[in-house]
Chain A
Amino acid sequence: AQSVAQPEDQVNVAEGNPLTVKCTYSVSGNPYLFWYVQYPNRGLQFLLKYITGDNLVKGSYGFEAEFNKSQTSFHLKKPSALVSDSALYFCAVRDGRRDDKIIFGKGTRLHILP
C-alpha cells in the first residue's frame, strides 16, 4: 500500500533563511510525488511534482524539491524564506502503476518569522 509521512507538524524558520519541509514515501511501483500548499480559507494549490528525470524539481514561488530514491524522500526546499511562505504544506504520492487516487500526508505548518 502506498503511504506518505511528514514527520514534522510545524517548522519555524527566520525570514531570509533556507527552509526544508520533510517528506518520506512508500509505494510498490514508481512514485509520482507532489507538493501542495494551503493558505487560510483556501483550497490546496499545486506547487510541484516529480514523475521522472532530474532529482531536483523546481516549482512555483521559488520552491524546489529533491527526490532521493535510496532514502525514499522528497523534501521541499527554498533558499530564502519569505513571511508570505507561511502556510500549511502537504506532500502527496501516487503509485505510478495505478492511475487513481493520490495519498496526502497530514501536513506541515510552516511559520516564517520576521
Chain B
Amino acid sequence: DAGVIQSPRHEVTEMGQEVTLRCKPISGHNSLFWYRQTMMRGLELLIYFNNNVPIDDSGMPEDRFSAKMPNASFSTLKIQPSEPRDSAVYFCASSFTGLGNQPQHFGDGTRLSIL
C-alpha cells in the first residue's frame, strides 16, 4: 500500500517567495496532520484536519502560514511570504480516527530552506 506522499522532497527558495507544500494521505484515513521539525524546537504540530475540516490550528506560527484540505486525498501548506526562520522539515501524517487507538502514518517530509 502507498504511504503518505509529500512533495516536493526538497525546496530551496529566496526570502519573500511563496512556498506550497503538498500531501496525499493514505486512502481511507480521515485525519491529516501537518508538523514542523527543527533542531531547536523539535517536532511541532501546526494544524490538523478531521474529515477535511480544520480542527485545531493553534500551532500555526502566524498569518503567513495557511493550510487547506479541499478533499480527502489532498492537502496543502502554504507560506507567504517565506522567511529564513521558516527553514525546517515539514511532515504530513494521516490516521484513521474514530477508534482512538490508531497510529499516525508519516510521510518522508519536505526539507525547506529559505535563503
Contact = CB atoms under 8 A, between A and B. Distances in A.
A90 B55 CA distance: 24
Interface in A17-40: 32, 34, 36
B108 A96 contact: no
A49 B100 contact: no
A43 B5 CA distance: 11
A101 B4 contact: no
Interface string A101-114: 11010110000000
Nearest to A95: B100
A107 B43 contact: yes
The contact size tier of chain B is: 20 to 34
A101 B103 contact: no
Given A32-B101, A94-B100, A101-B33, A43 B43 contact: no
A35 to B, nearest CB: 10
Nearest to A97: B100
Nearest to B109: A43
A43 B50 CA distance: 21
A32 B93 CA distance: 18
A15 B91 CA distance: 31
A32 B108 contact: no
Contact of A104 (B4, B31, B43, B107): B43
B101 A106 contact: no
Contacts of B106: 36, 43-45
Contacts of A41: 108-109, 111
A96 B98 CA distance: 11
8 contacts: A43-B93, A44-B43, A44-B93, A44-B104, A44-B106, A99-B98, A101-B56, A104-B43
Interface of B: 4, 31, 33, 42-43, 45, 48, 50, 55-56, 91, 93, 97-101, 103-109, 111
